Amino acid sequence: MSLLNFSIFHPVLMLSAFIGTADGFYEYMMLECVYSTSDYSDMVFLVTMSFNKVVDAQYNSTLGKFVGFNEHAEKSAERWNKNQAFMQGLKADVDTVCRHYAKIFDSAVRDKTVLPKVKLSSVKKAEGNHPAVLMCSAYEFYPEKIKVSWLRDGKLMTSEVTSTMEMADGDWYYQIHSQLEYTPTSGEKISCVVEHASSTQPIVKDWNPSMPESERNKITIGSSGLVLGIIIAAAGLIYYKKKSSGRILVPN
């Protein structure tokens, strides 16, 4: 059964979305195709039923059935799950609808992708019992969907990680920021991994804890100032010698 047939299968629900609103009631159905891999192997088809902004029931293609979240929805879910033709139609929609349109959408989007600019920096040093904090930022990328993760000695970090949502820059580009709290250990390797449609391979930034970025900047600025000072002093010395060589001393 197709998505169109699905909407016809519940004419009352669709109708109540319009008629019920006069009395303050609102019935809403949302269809979603969720995936993160380029081969669509993890594609999940979701059908979510909501009443007055509260989710009543949901179909998940991974589970292969509806689940009700209240007494009334549980009865409806049980009735839908017993309809074999209906359930087979929803199962088929993973391929005929989700994967089909995902390929069309992705082929159109990938031609317009923009590679993110990734920056890895230290936000806070470890002090006493307080852990260090690293920030991984991705800027000026398109499209919006992106995945930022952390590796510590090759292992995925699932805790002590906080991330913002993708935020619009206002110029069709997006940005995202992810923080990792950790206690530094000698010889460890920490990496920020960014996965985006604009790149066939993950973008990996390794953290070098030997010298914090702020210290590197200070040394660079200090070195530049020292070189400039030497140049100015040398120029002054040359000018003084030239002036002295042409001067005639007259005794009093």
Domain contains 237: no
| 28 and 77 fall within a common domain | yes
User: Three-state SS string across the chain, please?
Assistant: CCHHHHHHHCHHHHHHHHHHHHHCCCEEEEEEEECCCCCCCCCEEEEEEEECCEEEEEEECCCCEEEECCHHHHHHHHHHHHCHHHHHHHHHHHHHHHHHHHHHHHHHHHCCCECCEEEEEEEECCECCECEEEEEEEEEEECCCEEEEEEECCEECCCCEEECCCEECCCCCEEEEEEEEECCCCCCCEEEEEEECCCCCCEEEECCCCCCHHHHHHHHHHHHHHHHHHHHHHHHHHHHHHHHHCCCCCCC
- % of the chain exceeding 90 in pLDDT: 40
| 58 and 146 fall within a common domain | no
Domain contains 138: yes
| 98 and 136 fall within a common domain | no
Domain contains 228: no
Task: Mean pLDDT check: name the lowest of 8-12, 59-63, 77-81, 239-243.
Answer: 8-12
Of 206, 231, 246, the last residue of a domain is: 206
- Average pLDDT for 199-212: 82
| 17 and 91 fall within a common domain | yes
Res. 160: pLDDT tops 60: yes
pLDDT for res 227: 54
| 12 and 76 fall within a common domain | yes
Exposed, middle or buried by CB within 10 Å (0-12, 13-18, 19+), for 241?
exposed
Domain that holds residue 202: 117-206
The CATH number that applies at residue 46 is 3.10.320.10
The CATH number that applies at residue 173 is 2.60.40.10
Mean pLDDT estimate for the chain: 78
| 129 and 189 fall within a common domain | yes
Tell me the two tokens of residue 161.
């990680």
| 7 and 106 fall within a common domain | yes
Domain contains 42: yes
pLDDT for res 235: 63
Of 59, 90, 110, the last residue of a domain is: 110
Per the structure, how many domains does the chain have?
A: 2
| 121 and 63 fall within a common domain | no
- Average pLDDT for 110-134: 85
Domain contains 152: yes
Domain contains 217: no
| 133 and 185 fall within a common domain | yes
What would the pLDDT profile of 80-109 be if each residue is shown by its tens digit? Answer: 999 999 999 999 999 998 888 888 877 776
Q: How confident is the model at residue 16 (pLDDT cuts 50, 70, 90)?
A: very low
| 14 and 101 fall within a common domain | yes
pLDDT for res 6: 35
Q: How confident is the model at residue 24 (pLDDT cuts 50, 70, 90)?
A: low
- Specify the pTM: 0.47
Res. 74: pLDDT tops 90: yes
| 106 and 132 fall within a common domain | no
Res. 140: pLDDT tops 90: yes
| 7 and 99 fall within a common domain | yes
Res. 10: pLDDT tops 70: no
Domain contains 238: no
